[in-house]
Structure 1
């Protein structure tokens, strides 16, 4: 390659290196590319230095960029992000950042937490970079982590800023350039095999062209990434929302907003689904909100039923078993025994402790059955006891829609896994094109699984690219020595 070609290649790249300012709450961290990066870009006009462009400054993109640069320090790495880097990391877990999940040591079990990808991810994907590897990496880089009772992993600080600071510190130290408020609007492959990217700046008509030897698409569920993947020959599974709450039109239920249940069993029935789908039945904690039902069990259900709910217009019937650990017979025995023991107490004021439900919810159950809470237990007929028991075991709610799609939630859809090699994250269609994170048709249930997909995919893509770049660099060095 001649000097004029190299100068053209890096003219666009070097113009993408102004200082950026990253803000997170009270944290303000301003930085320009390191002297090492500036020197490397300058030297690139004299030597054949390879370039990696990462589209997307989220968890997968930043993690991938760091590992590529770690393995191949000579590689020029540029991350292009249209918004703020790591914005989903910032809001995840209520601002605490659910880094990963520490309960699934068995990769086969771990893969079952991905409604899209549970079959494909049983292979080498998590063997290469598991939740344990993720936790080890962050711990070794100064972030103390803790595993909560439900398996979710958070920084000890309970603040996502700990994760953001760690990653951005590595970005600075490794000499990765991060450019924000810029969007890659188009991509093509040159005869040389390099990628030619069109990069636009927000609020400007100016478009720059950048050449790259390697391209990592880690743009999440952004339409931008789907467009670029399509331009390079990939198909796209239409994205639909995943991980959302369910709207329930029940005025009496709204009065229970804030009530929680540590363990319920929910079953979703949709008119568009005639066959039995085991995953449409879930067990776990549930929360009542002012618009319906939420909590881990509902989010898991929405993830597995994402496409079915979409095709059903988010309408269906949800059956809830509020006492899943008791069979109907045992439950009726508890009610009968309670009636005999508290004959002179009002029904509202005395609910069996074995049920573990609040007085507010007990009142709701009685009201749904048309029973007054002021009557005495002695006055409750056996048929009424049967009705209460049946309602606790099979309480039906009409689902009328989904809750608001929030920033920290994910989508089902994207680039099919069949079109990439999971052991390298490289495209099977376009050489030196890589993917990581939510741009792929992979999504996990709540609990840190979506971030683990990002860390694993970013690591595999980054180290693969770094290995290729290192081999290329060593090959060039050997040729120079031979000369």
Structure 2
């Protein structure tokens, strides 16, 4: 009788403990043999899913669970206008590749891309049956022009490898047990109760979510405050708004900010530009916003943008073209006859004339030489007042996160906490537009996943 009472008391104590912690420890981890280990991946984006797949590839016995608060691969779905800019195919040299990362361009020159670079990424997707194409600017897309091809490929591998993906859940807290394992508190969105899960390995790949920064801090890491990167410039110019949709294949832009006194080469960029109804966008502006992200943040997103619309012509050559055009087309209206050497649209030519106070109806013969010089100066050094930032929704990226100095880039393991790994935008790494941010995710996910897989496989074989 005494023995039965002791058993009952033990059962009551266990029930009370579980209720107090509101815990169901095996809800995430499937029933496994005691020697099997568990990897929990926080974040079901590109880095997290890719890392989970490769961990499971190296160590098939390893239990792998991906916890995602929303829909898996949601950024993959919308990237590149729904086409998914997988990577960049023009940067095969890792030194050149690293220069496309405003945060990380020094650190990523080493083993990071050597271990898994753009060629490796493309080879992997092709081996999974996804046909890819490299466009003229280096951006790599699936031949299908649909991000679904990438998502279907990854989710098919997830299913085939036996990776568990659990959505509508958030890892709200983490601590380390005396055994060295991670104790995760997992909140299901539809429940007031929390699960407590013990994991042998933890990969945080939660993007720019505050969730990831909180977990990293709880495990002893510092976090560089995140600020927006990759955004458009708001320009208060009513005449410019009328040019919405006009594109320039090649311009040279230079950003001048009151808070930046020293010369920073990256604050000058060359590339295509687009006029929008709120200001200026296109690859050249997005690159400039990435390199100037922290400076723009500290400047309240206000400054001056100097644009050279004819970068391949020296200012003196440009003025010579205008003078020659005046002589050749003296009897034509200025608006109807723009020098073809400039390669600009009639709409923009009209904007230039209006900005200089010239009527498009006057004849070329009536334009003074000083007006010609002022037109030339405007085309070579046109100043716009930047009054704020827009959001480049498809490629929204942040500058900030866990410092790379706290990570071993050859393994992606934390220098502070054993068996803790990071990959993707949770780190203080961000790339310019063109497939570079996804390549950071693939590379980091691969390195972390294969490292974890190797550790788990060694542990498994050692226990046999």
1:236 aligns with 2:223: yes
1:112 aligns with 2:99: yes
1:215 aligns with 2:227: no
Structural mapping, 1:2-41, within 5 Å: 12=24, 14-16=26-28, 41=30
**Contact 1:58 1:218 (C-alpha < 8 Å) held by counterparts:** yes
Question: Which residue number in structure 1 is paired with residue 120 of structure 2?
Answer: 133
Question: Which residue number in structure 2 is paired with residue 448 of structure 1?
Answer: 435
**Contact 1:57 1:79 (C-alpha < 8 Å) held by counterparts:** yes
Which of 354, 357, 361 is equivalent to 2:341? 354
**Contact 1:425 1:436 (C-alpha < 8 Å) held by counterparts:** yes
Structural mapping, 1:333-482, within 5 Å: 333-404=320-391, 406=393, 408-477=395-464
Gaps of 5+ in 1: 18-40, 478-483
Instruction: State which drifts further: 201-210 or 447-456.
Output: 201-210
Gaps of 5+ in 2: 1-13
Instruction: State the 1:407 CA deviation.
Output: 5.2
Which of 212, 226, 236 is equivalent to 2:213? 226
Structural mapping, 1:68-79, within 5 Å: 68-79=55-66
**Contact 1:351 1:362 (C-alpha < 8 Å) held by counterparts:** yes
Instruction: State the 1:314 CA deviation.
Output: 0.1
- Provide the C-alpha distance between the structure 2 equivalents of 1:266 and 1:248, rounded to a whole number of angstroms: 14
Question: Which residue number in structure 1 is paired with residue 6 of structure 2?
Answer: none
Instruction: State the 1:336 CA deviation.
Output: 1.0
Instruction: State which drifts further: 236-245 or 399-408.
Output: 399-408
Residue 351 of structure 1 aligns to a residue in which SS? coil
**Contact 1:241 1:405 (C-alpha < 8 Å) held by counterparts:** no
Residue 267 of structure 1 aligns to a residue in which SS? strand
Question: Which residue number in structure 1 is paired with residue 4 of structure 2?
Answer: none
Q: Deviations over 1:395-444 (max 9, x none)?
A: 00000000035253100000000000000000000000000000000000
Structural mapping, 1:192-203, within 5 Å: 192-203=179-190
- Provide the C-alpha distance between the structure 1 equivalents of 2:245 and 2:280, rounded to a whole number of angstroms: 10
**Contact 2:28 2:197 (C-alpha < 8 Å) held by counterparts:** no
**Contact 2:80 2:394 (C-alpha < 8 Å) held by counterparts:** no
- Provide the C-alpha distance between the structure 2 equivalents of 1:278 and 1:299, rounded to a whole number of angstroms: 16
Which of 250, 260, 264 is equivalent to 2:247? 260
- Provide the C-alpha distance between the structure 2 equivalents of 1:223 and 1:242, rounded to a whole number of angstroms: 16
Residue 164 of structure 1 aligns to a residue in which SS? helix
1:326 aligns with 2:326: no
Instruction: State the 1:12 CA deviation.
Output: 4.4
Instruction: State the 1:337 CA deviation.
Output: 1.1
1:297 aligns with 2:322: no
- Provide the C-alpha distance between the structure 1 equivalents of 2:429 and 2:114, rounded to a whole number of angstroms: 17
- Provide the C-alpha distance between the structure 1 equivalents of 2:199 and 2:433, rounded to a whole number of angstroms: 35
**Contact 1:254 1:289 (C-alpha < 8 Å) held by counterparts:** yes
Residue 186 of structure 1 aligns to a residue in which SS? strand
1:84 aligns with 2:71: yes
Structural mapping, 1:101-180, within 5 Å: 101-180=88-167
- Provide the C-alpha distance between the structure 2 equivalents of 1:51 and 1:451, rounded to a whole number of angstroms: 26
Question: Which residue number in structure 2 is paired with residue 29 of structure 1?
Answer: none
- Provide the C-alpha distance between the structure 1 equivalents of 2:387 and 2:395, rounded to a whole number of angstroms: 23
- Aligned-residue CA RMSD in angstroms? 1.4
Which of 306, 309, 323 is equivalent to 2:296? 309
1:245 aligns with 2:232: yes
Residue 226 of structure 1 aligns to a residue in which SS? helix
- Provide the C-alpha distance between the structure 2 equivalents of 1:431 and 1:468, rounded to a whole number of angstroms: 11
Deviant stretches of 4+, over 6 Å? none
- Provide the C-alpha distance between the structure 2 equivalents of 1:383 and 1:409, rounded to a whole number of angstroms: 45
Residue 115 of structure 1 aligns to a residue in which SS? coil
Residue 62 of structure 1 aligns to a residue in which SS? helix
Q: TM-score, normalised by structure 1?
A: 0.91
- Provide the C-alpha distance between the structure 2 equivalents of 1:128 and 1:228, rounded to a whole number of angstroms: 27
- Provide the C-alpha distance between the structure 2 equivalents of 1:458 and 1:14, rounded to a whole number of angstroms: 26
Instruction: State the 1:166 CA deviation.
Output: 0.1
Question: Which residue number in structure 2 is paired with residue 23 of structure 1?
Answer: none
- Provide the C-alpha distance between the structure 1 equivalents of 2:378 and 2:190, rounded to a whole number of angstroms: 57
Instruction: State the 1:77 CA deviation.
Output: 0.1
Task: Go from structure 1 to structure 2 and tell me whether the alpha carbon gap of 1:189 and 1:407 turns closer, same or farther (over 3 Å shift).
Answer: farther
Structural mapping, 1:44-63, within 5 Å: 44=32, 46-63=33-50
- Provide the C-alpha distance between the structure 2 equivalents of 1:413 and 1:12, rounded to a whole number of angstroms: 35
Residue 52 of structure 1 aligns to a residue in which SS? strand
Instruction: State the 1:14 CA deviation.
Output: 4.0
**Contact 2:230 2:290 (C-alpha < 8 Å) held by counterparts:** yes
Instruction: State the 1:47 CA deviation.
Output: 2.9
Aligned residues, how many? 445
1:95 aligns with 2:82: yes
- Provide the C-alpha distance between the structure 2 equivalents of 1:407 and 1:324, rounded to a whole number of angstroms: 29
- Provide the C-alpha distance between the structure 1 equivalents of 2:272 and 2:357, rounded to a whole number of angstroms: 27
